[in-house]
């Protein structure tokens, strides 16, 4: 479930979102990649099986990326690339990804369930948007 809240500050309103997405990649060449990147430009990118990136959504609707902080909790699994738990200033790209280098399908795949929050303060509060993502890479 996605929580979208508009925050009003000063003369202008600021709005962010973490839309519903699933980041699952199935690959046939080693390694198979999967992940999510919250880009400083305000977009969300999905890491493709071949390691490239594809824009899938926008997190920053109004305002500047330097006005927000990203926090994450790994609910299950583990990540190979982890920008950190945060709160991290969003004016820098933040990547959370993993890779599968073992052929064998779902039972040998790599996965993580990661919860993200965007806040307006380095303390992590108030939360402006939150969502949980399933990130999985499966090498067939």
Extents of the domains making up the chain: 22-139
Nearest-angstrom CA–CA distance, 11 and 26: 46
**Model confidence pLDDT, tens digit, residues 9-49:** 322 344 788 887 777 888 887 888 999 999 999 999 999 99
Nearest-angstrom CA–CA distance, 110 and 138: 7
Q: CATH number of the domain at 22-139, out of 2.60.40, 3.40.50, 2.30.30, 2.130.10?
A: 2.60.40
The reported pLDDT for the residue numbered 100 is 86
Quick check: helix, strand or coil at residue 34?
strand
**Model confidence pLDDT, tens digit, residues 75-126:** 999 999 999 998 999 999 999 999 887 666 555 678 999 999 999 999 888 8
- What are the DSSP calls for 6-34, one per residue? EEEETTEEEEE------EEEEESSSSEEE
On whether the pTM is more than 0.95, the answer is no
- Check residues 74 and 106 and name the one with the higher pLDDT: 74
């Amino acid at each position: 479930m996605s929580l979208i809240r508009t925050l009003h500050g000063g003369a202008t309103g600021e709005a962010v979102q973490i839309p519903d997405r699933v980041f699952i990649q199935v690959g046939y060449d080693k390694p198979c990649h999967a992940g999510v990147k919250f880009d400083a430009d305000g977009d969300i990118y999905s890491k493709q099986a071949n390691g490239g990136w594809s824009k899938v959504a926008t997190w920053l609707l109004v305002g500047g990326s330097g006005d927000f902080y990203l926090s994450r909790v790994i609910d299950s699994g583990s990540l190979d690339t982890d920008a950190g738990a945060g709160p991290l200033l969003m004016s820098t790209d933040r990547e959370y990804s993993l890779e599968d280098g073992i052929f064998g399908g779902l039972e040998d795949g790599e996965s993580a369930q990661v919860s993200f929050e965007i806040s307006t303060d380095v303390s992590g509060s108030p939360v402006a948007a939150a969502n949980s993502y399933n990130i999985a890479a499966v090498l067939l």
